């Protein structure tokens, strides 16, 4: 049985939309095409428990003492704003008319405990002309496809898949829907006429649990060639906060920062080759964020 998560509350500021650097360099960001410089995050913590995630370190740096989760492991705590409805309703969404906002960058917006608040945001913001990049690993997003379809020109749905190996996936993202369920999100989105894409990330270097990253990614791209996503991004595992420590515990071996650097450079070329082999176009996001389109 999955352990229960520690839940709590905090107070968030208004507006709920905040600046984000997860955008193109042209828009002042780090080179990831995930927004136009804005994000909506409305939880502290995430119950997916992905070991490669760096967000835990951010929360611990600024919030753990005040909220009391110093000794709680990543994936086992989540805090919601006590004023979440007020924050959503008092945000002047028209201010972001025509701008793309990421939903969300520090947690999955379709965790079961958050899905109704995500729906609330979409119901208020989409009619005001806000555009969204909805980033999720959860099939719960499918419930909102009828609404998103009404505003299909304003939203894109994007999933993340690291591996097609179910055993490996259970080790590194233990409370996430299996890869096949996330591929179904893309298929259903396309059937609704919704723009749908994927981030293949993080791609791990060769490890005992999954020794052949090329074969793993090739299998995923073969499936994507059947679905026809509108955009494909790829990214290697990078050193962030305490993620390599968490990853060591989950896979039973250490991955060094130098290994990641070399793999990042090498696999970017492999990724481009695999895209061409499958008749797909996409982009690899290297650590140094050099543009690498295919």
Beta partners for residue 38, in sequence order: 19, 101
The per-residue pLDDT for 4 is 64
The per-residue pLDDT for 232 is 97
Give the per-residue SS3 of the chain. Answer: CCCCCEEEEECCCCCCEEECCCCCHHHCCCCCCCCCCEEECCCEECCCCCCCCCHHHHHHHHCHHHHCCCCCCCCCEEEEECCHHHHHHHCCHHHHECCEEEECCCCCCCCCCCHHHHHHHHHHHHHHCEEEEEEECCHHHHHHHHHHHHCHHHEEEEEEECCCCHHHHHHHCCCCCCHHHHHHHHHHHHHCCCEEEEEEEEECCCECCECCHHHHHHHHHHHHHHHCCCEEEEEECCCCCCHHHHHHHHHCCCCCHHHHHHHHHHHHHHHHHHHHHCCCCCEECCCCCCCCEC
The answer to whether the CB of 76 falls within 8 A of the CB of 60 is no
* Burial tier of 242 (Cβ tally within 10 Å: 0-12, 13-18, 19+): middle
Q: How far is CA 77 from CA 8, 35, 74, 149, 249, in A?
A: 8, 27, 7, 33, 19
The model carries a pTM of 0.91
The per-residue pLDDT for 290 is 45
Q: Look up residue 72 and give its two tokens.
A: 């709680």
Domains and CATH numbers, the chain: 6-284 (3.20.20.70)
The per-residue pLDDT for 32 is 87
One pLDDT digit (tens) per residue for the chain, 294 residues = 344 678 889 999 999 999 998 887 788 888 888 999 999 999 999 999 899 988 887 877 767 667 777 778 888 889 999 999 999 999 999 999 999 999 999 999 999 999 999 999 999 999 999 999 999 999 999 999 999 999 999 999 999 999 999 999 999 999 999 999 999 999 999 999 999 999 999 999 999 999 999 999 999 999 999 999 999 999 999 987 778 888 898 999 999 989 999 999 999 999 999 999 999 999 999 986 544 444
Report how far residue 94's alpha carbon sits from residue 161's, in angstroms, rounded to the nearest whole number: 33
The per-residue pLDDT for 293 is 41
Selection from 223, 241, 243 nearest residue 232 by Cα: 223
Helix 213-227 with 179-191: angle, nearest 10 deg = 20
């Amino acid at each position: 049985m999955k352990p229960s998560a520690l839940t709590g509350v905090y107070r968030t500021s208004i507006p709920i939309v905040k600046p984000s650097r997860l955008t193109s360099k042209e828009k002042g960001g780090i080179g990831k095409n995930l927004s136009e410089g804005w994000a909506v995050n409305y939880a502290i913590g995430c119950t997916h428990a992905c070991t490669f995630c760096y967000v835990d370190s951010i929360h611990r740096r600024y919030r753990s003492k005040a909220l009391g989760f110093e000794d709680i492991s990543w994936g086992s705590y989540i805090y919601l704003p006590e004023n979440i409805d007020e924050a959503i309703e008092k945000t002047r969404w028209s201010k972001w008319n025509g701008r793309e906002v990421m939903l969300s960058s520090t947690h999955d917006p379709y965790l079961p405990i958050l899905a109704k608040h995500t729906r609330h945001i979409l119901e208020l913001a989409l009619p005001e002309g806000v555009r969204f990049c909805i980033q999720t690993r959860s099939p719960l997003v499918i419930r909102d496809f009828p609404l998103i379809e009404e505003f299909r020109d304003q939203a894109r749905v994007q999933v993340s898949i690291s591996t097609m190996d179910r055993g490996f996936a259970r080790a590194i993202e233990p409370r996430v829907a299996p890869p096949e369920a996330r591929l179904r999100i893309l298929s259903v989105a396309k059937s609704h006429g919704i723009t749908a894409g994927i981030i293949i990330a993080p791609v791990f270097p060769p490890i005992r649990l999954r020794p052949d990253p090329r074969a793993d990614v090739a299998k995923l791209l073969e499936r994507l060639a059947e679905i026809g996503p509108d955009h494909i991004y790829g990214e290697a595992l990078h050193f962030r906060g305490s993620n390599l420590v968490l990853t060591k515990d989950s896979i039973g071996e250490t991955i060094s920062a130098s290994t990641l650097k070399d793999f990042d450079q090498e696999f970017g070329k492999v990724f481009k080759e695999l895209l061409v082999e499958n008749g797909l176009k996409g982009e690899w996001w290297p650590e140094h964020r050099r543009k690498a389109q295919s």
